[in-house]
Amino acid sequence: MRRIKLEISYDGTNYSGWQKQPDVPTVQGTLELTLREITKEDNIAVTGSGRTDAGVHALKQVAAFTTQTALPPDVFLRALNGLLPLDIRILNAAEVALDFHPISDATGKRYRYLIDDNRPCNPFTRNYTWIVRKPLDENVIRDTAQPLLGQHDFKCFQTTGSPRKTTVRTVTDVLIQRIPSTVLTGGAVAGSPLSIEIQANGFLYNMMRAIAGTLVDLYIRGKEQVLSLTEIIESGDRSLAGQTAPPHGLYLLDVFY
């Protein structure tokens, strides 16, 4: 038996998330069907580093599978990219130890959330950014987000129904900036999306989307906001935090081992 590690990039627009589900397209399900075609093995199972929701994208997701075939990693790379839909690309394939596990071996992840607060909004990025109808000041949001750094109980940003042994996580980096749009618009649309990047040793279910929604809500409420971000985190109460931002603005940027 051999263990193959994959680094994957995908546009989540047309998929019902990562996790395999009956009767709907998913990234995991698409990968498994393609690998079974390549290996002629019916029991191929792909394990990812995490389950992205419907509409969520990944610049680098990590996954692994076990196989009996002698095909080298570079053949898997070429064969998968030759057979997969163009919205799923394999960036790298490598043979790893049989006990490698994409989830339990991970030491951290980095996510990006993109917001289009420009007027007019960019019609070409509507599936890739959250369209917010109020201009946002990235400097104010950057200052507001600083309490996220460090080790905290982030229970207030967890969607209910997702039990964990602990809701304590350590955030090691928060980067908020404007980034150039990657979509060619011919000069018809101006403005750059607001990027919220967070790196941590782990994320709770919907944690990144809840943080993005809370930062926007705090900015929009302004002086009417009763609680600070620090007080919201210390409360552990999901109802005191902001909305869960839409999935299509979220990107898994990297997984660390």
Q: Which position among 11, 42, 53, 137 bears the catalytic label?
A: 53
- Which domain range does residue 53 map to? 2-96
Q: Is residue 155 part of a domain?
A: yes
**Is residue 181 pLDDT above 90, yes or no?**
no
Last residue in a domain, options 70, 96, 122: 96
Domain count, the chain: 2
Does 235 lie in the same domain as 153? yes
Does 226 lie in the same domain as 114? yes
- Is the Cβ–Cβ distance between 121 and 138 less than 8 Å? no
What Å distances lie between residue 24 and 15, 16, 146, CA to CA?
A: 8, 7, 39
Quickly tell me which residue has 């790298």 as its tokens: 92
11 tagged catalytic: no
Last residue in a domain, options 71, 96, 121: 96
CA distance 63 to 28: 9
Q: Is residue 125 part of a domain?
A: yes
Q: Is residue 141 part of a domain?
A: yes
For 53-192, strand residue ranges (E) read: 57-67, 88-96, 108-116, 130-131, 150-153, 168-178
* Domain CATH for 14: 3.30.70.580
Q: Is residue 200 part of a domain?
A: yes
Q: Is residue 214 part of a domain?
A: yes
Does 237 lie in the same domain as 211? yes
- Tell me the pLDDT tens digit for each residue of 54-110: 999 999 999 999 999 999 999 999 999 999 999 999 999 999 999 999 999 999 999
> First vs last Cα of the chain: how many Å apart?
23
Q: Is residue 102 part of a domain?
A: no
Q: Is residue 103 part of a domain?
A: no
Last residue in a domain, options 96, 121, 151: 96
* Domain CATH for 128: 3.30.70.660
**Is residue 189 pLDDT above 80, yes or no?**
no
Does 220 lie in the same domain as 153? yes
- Tell me the pLDDT tens digit for each residue of 197-252: 999 999 999 999 999 999 999 999 987 888 999 999 999 999 999 999 999 999 99
Instruction: Report pLDDT for 144.
Output: 97
Does 159 lie in the same domain as 66? no
Instruction: Report pLDDT for 190.
Output: 52
